[in-house]
Structure 1
Amino acid sequence: MTDSTTSTPFHSLDRYIALPRVEGLALSPDGERVVLTVATLSADGTRYERALWQVPARGEGAPRRLTRSAKGEAGVAFTRDGDALFVSGRPDAEAEKEHDASQLWLLPAGGGEARAITRLGGGVSGVAATALEADTIVIAADLLPSSTGVEDDAAARAERSEKKVAAILHETYPVRYWDHDLGPAEPHLLALDLEGLADALPDRSPAADARDETGATGATDGDAPTPYPAHLPAPRDLTPRPGRSADTAGQALTPDGRTLIAALRVPSRGLPRFEIVAIDVATGERRTLLGEEGVHYEYPTISRDGTALAYLRAPFSTPEGPGDQELWIAGVDGSNPRRLAEGWDHWPAEFRFAPDGASLVVAADHDGRGPVFRVPTDGGAVEQLTHDHFSYTGLQVDAATGDIVALRSSWQAPAHPVRIDAGTGEVSALASPAAPTPEVGTMTEVDTLAADGSRVRGWLLTPEGASAEHPAPLLLWIHGGPLNSWNAWSWRWAPQLAVARGYAVLLPDPALSTGYGLDFIARGWNSWGEKPFTDLMAITDAVERRPEIDETRTAAMGGSFGGYMANWVAGHTDRFRAIVSHASLWAMDQFGGTTDNSSYWTSIFTPEGLDANSPHHAVADIVTPMLVIHGDRDYRVPIGESLRLWSELNAHHSADDGSTVHKFLYFPDENHWILKPQHAVVWYETVFAFLDQHVLGADWKRPANIG
């Protein structure tokens, strides 16, 4: 199907994993510079190294690399003066001891070397907020619950490390998140005042680095914790004794830097909620601005003049139906709250104020794409700014022009920086150190009508040369989520790799997908195995009727919720020749209590719905060969799901001698995603070998490097 003379990075897994990846961007306060975070493959091919690159924000000029270090840099933000802030574990030449913890670094706008401006025992998680008109910033960092301050925290960590204690005592739920254990440290928000921060020669005199509780320097006794360096800005804890409350749903500083507006978690026996609070940066005094039982208040965003606050109001979902995601605006003190775009049936993913505060620019899923919209703050009609097949993320607004800088991607183009004209919506690409990738095959929009009359749509990627004379085998690829849409590039799920090998790939958005309105999501609520399944089968039927598709050679695959659906498909139809199930939900009663956020999952199903929609009930009906894949460090969908699936597949379907057509690919050190480059190669090699065997009739070829 694919021209043998065609060679792109997607025809070689080694070339694919070596492609540079643009992962984030930040716009300087003057609107002149964009700093990109770019990941490149390490020399040994076992990890990605991240560096910062600067490109002109007006669209002219070439990329310039700003940083180089073995540990890499990420999490870029700007001070009001245009200095770049980033987080890195690179060595600090001014520190007496080398530490592995990442710290906050500052790269001067005028040039010169970056310098570390924190020295916290547990490091810095990221830049939480910066002020437009002040030298105040807020960082996120973890401190041990027994610590009384940053110096005490460093001493406690050192003792814990010296004695090799790894135990964690939990007193609240949850205890895990995605791929890591929570605790013993708790998340804090710390304020830093960068005023007066200047380069100076280090003072190595004995008392130079002694700081008392007021911030003054002085002598310390030999048993006291090592004092926090006096030449660095002293962190002020804005969230003392936080528990998990400072696992925020967004935060922003007022332009004068005096008030932090944060969406803090409110502990609860059941599902915790978020409320928006105002914290006085100087005193730590806190007051609640917006909060309500059974409702999340999230992602506070402040206008440039500091008078208005935009936020997301999200009532809890229940087994009866999904909660909406509502865009609201209020005074910065929480006064006069009102909903915007009330009749606009979309879920805002990102939003930023226009410079004049008269509108918000909003990114939202929409019909298999992720356009940018303009939402007037006076209650006027929503206007769609971009009208292409792309999705936009990382929105930044130029204060001088109102133009938008963002990352744009589609299933034919990885994320790349662009500028959007605020008046016309015209999009122009900015310079990037990552060259555009060649398109592979053809991307076509497809749709059909479900049995209830709902439109179900998706993207179909077909290989070069697919035709009625040479139809392509079909791979149904089901997205995760389930509140998701196949509308943006993913380095983890790359259908181009399958297209380059001659497969057509169908990327459908069934019931529960976002971008089609709340009713479309509700069609599959509390019944994952019903409308989502029949939607998938309906659009597969429609695509198989196309002349360039070989309906006799088909397979299905998916990860997470897509893995759940792959398992459900396996137990409810024999139409596919092979099924690949990655990080899948298998036994819903077991999953609900072992996932990292059980309070959410158990709140959106009735007991009857949970049981009726559990794939494990249909294990005896599975006749299609399955490839099961899972990482042991997956805490969102714990490994027990695939272990039980594998056990029950063998109990029901293995031969008398124990042999089986099914296979189980296991990664002891990966999580919900397979992130290490060498493991991504193994993943794809195994998947394609399995598909080639059962879909194309090829001999089984055991992938290299798996023993």
Structure 2
Amino acid sequence: MIRALGDGTSFHALFATHPRLTDLVLSPDGTRLIASVQTINDQENRYVSRLWEVDPSGERGSRLVARSAQGDFAPAFAADGTLLFLSGRENAGSAAAKGESDSQGVGLWALPHRGEPRQIAHHPGGISAFAVAGDARTVAYTADLPPGAVDSEGSAVLLRERRSALVDAVLYDAAMTSAVDAGLGPDEPHTFVLHADRAPVNAGGQGPAGAGDMALSPDGSLVAYTRDARGLAADMNVVVVADAATGVEHHAFSRTGQRYYHPTFTADGSALVCQRQREETYDTEWRVTLVAFDLASGEETDLLPEFDNWPWPGRAVLSPVRGDATLWFTGDEQGHCPVFRREADGTITRLTASGAYASLCVSPDGATLYALRSTIDGPPRVVRLDAVTAGQEPVFLRAPGSLDRLPGTLTEVRVEADDGFPLHAWLALPEDASAERPAPLIIAPHGGPQTSWSAWTWLWNPWPFAARGYAVLLPDPALSTGYGQHMQERGRGQYGGQPYRDLIALTDAALARDDLDATRTGLAGWSFGGYLANRAATLTDRFRAIVTHAGMWNLEAFQSGTDMHAYFRKIFGDPRTRRERYEANSPHFHASELTTPMLIAHGGKDHRVPMGQALSLHSDLQRLGTPAGFLHFPDEGHRIEAPNHIRLMYETVLNFFDHHVLGREAGTQAVGDAGRPCATRH
């Protein structure tokens, strides 16, 4: 638990070391519940995972899984109850022990309930994800292959040749591939199927957008995965259903303008349920639903045709009972992320009253659910739910991750936008905020933009700010999820229009409270929130200081440099022929209006928002003589991942706001806990 303050240690330092629950799985017989828990390593520069056993009844405390080791993660159960997981632990019986470095990296391991763990699959460069068959000893996994390789042996040969040549250059004959915070190719993910006592079968390439997106039929005879084929339009992908023994394709489902994710087979193997996503374009807004493919007829059925709570239902969890068409899913709704139940007739019931849920598991009889539940003011915890009852509160189970206390309280802010649409935000208040001692306010718009402030977050969490005496407003402006399809319509194609006006409306509503100080405000955002921070810096001088992390500055340069260039160009158009949205929304056109002190934070390996965006903004600030700082993380990507970097960022940002919002004297160096220097100033 995070211990009480007052021992001279800052809250954000304790926050960075707090255990993090990331995954939850249930055994096929419903008797074992396994959670993946991340803790900080001895060097305090990385989070490492261990597997914990949680009592489903809630009567006994949790404990480490016997014979689990540091670095085990992504647990799942095989049909016979064997615990499978990914791990980078050494395998004394593998080629690694013989000095063959190609087998190093993350492998797939099996741990029987009684017995020692053994590695059952490895691949040069490691395995990134896997899936199991519900009723058979069959496993599918994702691993990368370089061009020209068809299996792990061929991959190993090519990798050895690449290392021996001492050359890491890549000649691309097709578009470069990457995912957020991952490198730019040339290797591409493939799906492999591992049958008992047989060599893995290469079932086919997935492409970057489908990496790890796969499922096995309950009997292990079919494998499904999503694929981005070369030459295929950027606004669609293909759901492939292939023979798990040979890799021969049986079905290939696709639809122009749609992308499919998270395939899952029904309990009888007759159908495949997927998330279907229509991404935003110049003329259409986001829309996401769940669909079912009948494997006999090929017919596709929309399972949520009238569901308008939000535009992004998550992965479906299907009933394990053969013949039962019930499924469960989660989705943002008004600042929460409830669990929903869909009956065979299409009836939808919201099962949970509050909170945000993830890692749903269903018991073998379909009567009980287990999940990770979090809130804005509470990190993920393991809970149990009735699988039928509406509006219920969960039963909390005994597992790592709970908090001792927080340095403040949480409330809500509501107001109508300038177009009459009802808006919502969360407000974190420090403990001593009152009319007599109004707190300074930091506004923190979320990333996305298609997401919502509904769950606990470790990046840009409000409570380190509250511990320092700041109130934090967490607004959900236009394009946020959880407020119906119209929330997408009103923000389409105008990142700096309605979303910015909604942010200001929620800020004004919050500052009408007598326990907030309207004269001492700041703004801080990450990704799309960083863009809104940049936008605000050119449109208003009401904030005393602005922090922008991985935010867009020059939208025209961004669309050609981001790893999502095709996606962004669909929304804003080609800047050479359709300039209207770039000129209306790109902050850099108004650089001359930059007067507010700004702190820029950016990762050197950010492919989503390339660092050139930060460099361009910093150059404009310097040219204009506007006070500016640049916190550069050379080895971080779009997010800040390392715990020592997270602690550093909070301390640097808080010092920046202390100086410019509160008027405290600035130091000559950013200083962390116990006076340790954290960031060198140049």
TM above 0.5, yes or no, is yes
Greater mean deviation of Cα atoms: 618-627 or 603-612: 603-612
Q: Within 5 Å, give how 1:217-366 maps onto structure 2.
A: 233-239=198-204, 242=205, 244=207, 247-248=210-211, 250-268=213-231, 270-333=233-296, 335-345=298-308, 346=310, 347-356=312-321, 357-366=324-333
- 2:177 alignment partner, one of 158, 175, 178: 175
The answer to whether the aligner puts 1:679 opposite 2:652 as a matched pair is: no
- The match for 1:405 among 370, 389, 399 is 370
User: Would the alpha carbon gap of residues 355 and 135 (structure 1) be closer, same or farther in structure 2, given more than 3 Å must change?
Assistant: closer
Partner deviation per Cα, 1:83-108 (whole Å, 9 max, x = no partner) = 11111111110122264321111111
TM-aligned CA distance change 1:426 to 1:474, over 3 Å: closer
Counterpart residue identity of residue 89, structure 2 = R
Kept in 2: contact 1:51–1:67 (CA 8 A): no
Residue pair 1:32, 1:58 contacting (<8 A) in 2 also = no
Per-residue CA deviations over 1:245-293 (Å, capped at 9, x if unaligned) read 7834732211110011222223336515222221011222103342122
Q: Secondary structure at 2:353's aligned position in 1?
A: coil
Alpha-carbon contact 1:592-1:598 (below 8 Å) kept? yes
Larger mean Cα displacement after TM superposition, 9-18 or 277-286:
9-18
For the 8 Å contact 1:328–1:339, the answer to whether it is kept is: yes
Question: Conserved in 1, the CA contact under 8 Å of 2:444 and 2:523?
Answer: yes
**Displacement, 1:26?**
1.3
Tell me if structure 2 keeps the 8 A contact 1:446–1:457. yes
Q: How do 1:158-557 and structure 2 match up within 5 A? A: 158-194=160-196, 233-239=198-204, 242=205, 244=207, 247-248=210-211, 250-268=213-231, 270-333=233-296, 335-345=298-308, 346=310, 347-356=312-321, 357-379=324-346, 381-388=347-354, 390-424=355-389, 425-557=392-524
Distance (whole Å) between structure 2 residues aligned to residue 243 and residue 191 of structure 1: 13
- Alignment-mate amino acid for residue 242 of structure 2: I
SS of the residue corresponding to residue 478 of structure 1 reads coil
Conserved in 2, the CA contact under 8 Å of 1:253 and 1:260? yes
Contact 1:52 1:73 in 2 (8 A): yes
1:199 aligns with none
Give identity over the alignment, percent.
39
Cα shift readout 1:301-327 (whole Å, capped 9, x = no counterpart): 222222332222223421113131122
**What is the alpha-carbon distance in structure 2 between the residues aligned to residue 120 and residue 516 of structure 1?**
44
Shift in alpha-carbon separation, 1:268–1:132, aligned structure 2, 3 A: same
1:7 deviates by 4.0
Give the Cα separation in 1 of the matches to 2:403 and 2:5. 17
1:337 CA displacement: 2.7
Q: Aligned-pair distance for 1:8?
A: 8.9
**Is the Cα–Cα contact under 8 Å of residues 265 and 272 in structure 1 kept in the other structure?**
no
DSSP 3-state at the match of 1:627? strand
1:12-161 to 2 correspondence within 5 Å?
Answer: 12-66=11-65, 72-95=71-94, 96-97=98-99, 99=101, 100-109=104-113, 111-127=114-130, 129-161=131-163
Whether contact under 8 Å (1:313, 1:328) holds in the other structure is: yes
Matched residue type, 2:616: R
Q: What residue in structure 2 maps to residue 613 of structure 1?
A: 585
Is the CA contact 1:275–1:298 (under 8 Å) kept in the aligned structure 2?
Answer: no
RMSD over aligned Cα atoms: 2.0
Distance 2:9 2:38 in 1: 18
Contact 1:477 1:508 in 2 (8 A): yes
> Where does structure 2 lack aligned partners over 5 or more consecutive residues?
671-676
Write out per-residue CA displacement over residues 36-55 of structure 1, whole angstroms, 9 at most, x where no aligned residue: 11111111212112111111
1:117 aligned counterpart, secondary structure: strand
State the distance in 1 between where 2:30 and 2:553 align. 49
TM-score using structure 2 length: 0.92
Q: Is the 8 A contact 1:51 1:68 kept in 2?
A: no
Q: Corresponding residue for 1:203?
A: none
- In structure 2, the CA distance between the partners of 1:354 and 1:176, relative to structure 1 (3 Å rule), is closer
Q: What one-letter code is carried by the residue in structure 2 that aligns with 1:103? A: G
- Distance change >3 Å, CA 270–CA 591, structure 1 → 2: farther
Judged with a 3 Å threshold, the aligned counterparts in structure 2 of structure 1 residues 336 and 596 are, in CA distance, closer, same or farther, namely: closer
Find the aligned partners of 1:154 and 1:9 in 2 and give their Cα distance: 52
Q: SS of the residue aligned with 2:592?
A: helix
| Deviations, residues 419-454 of structure 1 (Å, cap 9, x unaligned) | 111132441112213343423311111110011100
Residue 215 of structure 1 is matched in structure 2 by none
Measure the CA separation in 2 of the matches of 1:287 and 1:568: 49
Residue deviations 1:126-162 (CA, integer Å, cap 9, x gap): 21x2111111110111122222432222222222223
Q: TM-score, normalised by structure 1?
A: 0.89
Equivalent-residue separation in structure 2 for 1:15 and 1:55 (angstroms) = 24
Q: Label 1:246 to 1:409 Cα distance change in 2 as closer, same or farther (>3 A).
A: closer
Per-residue deviation, residues 511-540 of structure 1 (Å, max 9, x unmatched):
010000111112111111111111111111
Instruction: Please say which of residues 295-304 and 254-263 is displaced more in the overlay.
Output: 295-304
Kindly tell me: are residues 527 and 401 of structure 1, through their superposed partners in 2, closer, same or farther at Cα, counting changes over 3 Å? closer
Q: What secondary structure does 1:325 align onto?
A: strand
C-alpha separation in 1, matches of 2:531 and 2:408: 29
Please give the alpha-carbon distance, in whole angstroms, between the structure 1 residues aligned to 2:155 and 2:651.
Answer: 46
Partner SS, residue 400 of structure 1: coil
Is residue 177–residue 186 contact of structure 2 (8 Å, CA) maintained in 1? no
**Contact kept in structure 2, 1:408 and 1:418, CA below 8 Å:** yes
Does the Cα contact within 8 Å between 1:412 and 1:440 map onto a contact in 2?
Answer: no
Describe the SS at the equivalent of 2:678.
coil
Number of equivalenced pairs: 654
Q: What residue is the counterpart of 1:209 in the other structure?
A: none
C-alpha distance in structure 2 between counterparts of 1:67 and 1:480, whole Å: 39
Moved more, 341-350 or 569-578: 341-350
The structure-2 alpha-carbon separation of the partners of 1:67 and 1:43, relative to structure 1 and needing over 3 Å to count, comes to farther
8 Å CA contact 2:150, 2:202 repeated in 1: no
Aligned mates of 1:375, 1:297 — CA distance in 2: 20
Q: Which moved more, 1:332-341 or 1:134-143?
A: 332-341
Deviations 1:614-657 (A, max 9, x none): 01111111221111111111110000000000011111x22xxx
What is the CA–CA distance in structure 2 between the aligned matches of 1:589 and 1:431, rounded to whole Å? 51
Distance in 1, Cα, partners of 2:428 & 2:562: 34
Q: Which residue of 2 aligns with 1:207?
A: none
Task: Give the Cα–Cα distance (whole angstroms) in 2 for the partners of residues 122 and 640 of structure 1.
Answer: 30
CA distance in 2, matches of 1:378, 1:482: 33
Aligned to 2:674: none
1:176 is paired with a residue whose SS is coil
Amino acid across the alignment from 2:118: R
SS at match of 1:557: strand
The alpha-carbon deviation at position 9 of structure 1 amounts to 11
